[in-house]
Amino acid sequence: MTTVTQVITPAAGTKDGAPTVLQVVPSLVTGGVERGAVDMAAALTKAGGTAIIASEGGHLEYELQRIGATHLRLPMASKNPLVMARNVTRLKKVILEHDVDIVHARSRAPAWSAYFAAKGTGRHFITTFHAPYNIGNGFKRRYNAIMTKGERVIAISQFIAAHIEENYKVERTKLRVVQRGVDLRHFDPDQVSAERVIKLATDWRLPDGVPLVMLPGRLTRWKGQTILLEALKELRDLDFCCALVGSDQGRTSYRQELERQIIANDLAGKAFIFDNCTDMAAAYMLSDVVVSASTDPEGFGRVVSEGQAMGRPVVASDHGGAREQVIPGTTGFLFENNDASSFAKALRTALTLSTEERAKLSQIAINRVQTLFSKDRMCNATLGLYNELMRKDAHKIG
């Protein structure tokens, strides 16, 4: 199927109308949905608009305070129909009190409440489709379809745009592709000191001079930690160590399973599990190969772009948004999903690159991320959509 959706490029001007935008998300914990909402709140505030986020809260609230955005604590994560109905009334009150111009929904449960609140107050409603939600049955499809009800429907990758077109009835004129973006001020090799890298290596007690394979991602089965450990079993002739970096979020049984697998695969002393890292830029610099091994296709998969932004070879599953970010053999390597042998082959290639090959790959990867996958590009494109809706209002008034 040919995807004919429009890819949005940054707008030349972003202050037209200085809109007030209410974003709704379930919570403000670490994740792609939440990170995108906070990034947009910062960009909107900087552009002269007013940014409001409604959610159940989380540690990212402090970042909203720092950038001058407003957070309203509401039960937006609830899927209880009675709570969702009451959220309609709550959001209508917010919209009227803050004179909101645009309501931007980024997740399904809060989107249902936001849709009816926006409709009931005559405000613009847009959505961002972050993932290929499981369809399952007719009820699930109808539940997901709320994410297609926006005046503009943002897909975070061409993969997601194709998924929307294939599974939902959406006017093609409403669908826009705005790919996720990396904060290049944070993920910049030139900004990471040797002291930061050394400190992290010391904290992790890694062996000196041994190539490091890193898989960042919370400890959950679909992130692919088990398939990585199976692939590494085929590489025991190489000198390497492996870091699985991410919180188990209470999934202690899965963490214990991984620990047993490390021993069973004769990887003790070579593979390690670390909780969330507070200096991911240093972690990427410490790594020789970055892995994204998700067994389910990711809508975008920001780890891929972050690793490439730091000039690291990325080895990723050959599906989802990774296909848009990795040029095989040029900026990284793809392997057949859930295939340990294919995975091991790609890892071997990445680990045995010559100094010249690694330097060439690094520069091409960095340049490509800076051109196509920056946070500024993502934010300016979304601001352009906000302004597009505001200009519609100005035209009506005129």
What is the count of structural domains for the chain? 2
Residue 217 counted as domain residue: yes
Residues 260, 155: one domain? no
Residue 398 counted as domain residue: no
Instruction: Specify the 3-state DSSP secondary structure of 258.
Output: helix
Residues 198, 175: one domain? no
Q: How far apart are CA 338 and CA 317, in angstroms?
A: 8
Residues 175, 200: one domain? no
Residue 297 counted as domain residue: yes
Residue 157 counted as domain residue: yes
Residues 368, 382: one domain? no
- Per the listing, tokens 């890819």 go with 7
What pLDDT score was predicted for residue 384?
96
Sign of the Cα torsion 247, 250, 254, 256 reads positive
Q: How far apart are CA 145 and CA 150, in angstroms?
A: 10
What pLDDT score was predicted for residue 8?
52
What pLDDT score was predicted for residue 226?
97
What DSSP state is assigned to residue 103?
A: E
Residues 193, 305: one domain? yes
How many CB atoms neighbour CB 10 within 10 A?
Answer: 15
Residue 209 sits in a domain whose CATH number is 3.40.50.2000
Question: Which residue stretches of the chain have pLDDT < 50?
Answer: 1-5, 9-16, 397-398
How many CB atoms neighbour CB 121 within 10 A?
Answer: 16
What pLDDT score was predicted for residue 387?
95
What pLDDT score was predicted for residue 1?
39
Residue 31 counted as domain residue: yes
Residues 359, 386: one domain? no
Residues 79, 213: one domain? no
What pLDDT score was predicted for residue 139?
87
Residue 1 counted as domain residue: no
Residues 216, 339: one domain? yes
Q: Decide: 343 and 227 in contact? Cβ < 8 Å.
A: yes
Residue 213 counted as domain residue: yes
Q: What DSSP string runs through 324-386?
A: HH--BTTTEEEE-TT-HHHHHHHHHHHHT--HHHHHHHHHHHHHHHHHHSBHHHHHHHHHHHH
Residues 174, 195: one domain? no
What pLDDT score was predicted for residue 7?
52
Residues 382, 239: one domain? no
Residues 322, 272: one domain? yes
Whole domain around residue 355: which residue ranges? 189-372
How many CB atoms neighbour CB 243 within 10 A?
Answer: 22
Residues 202, 173: one domain? no
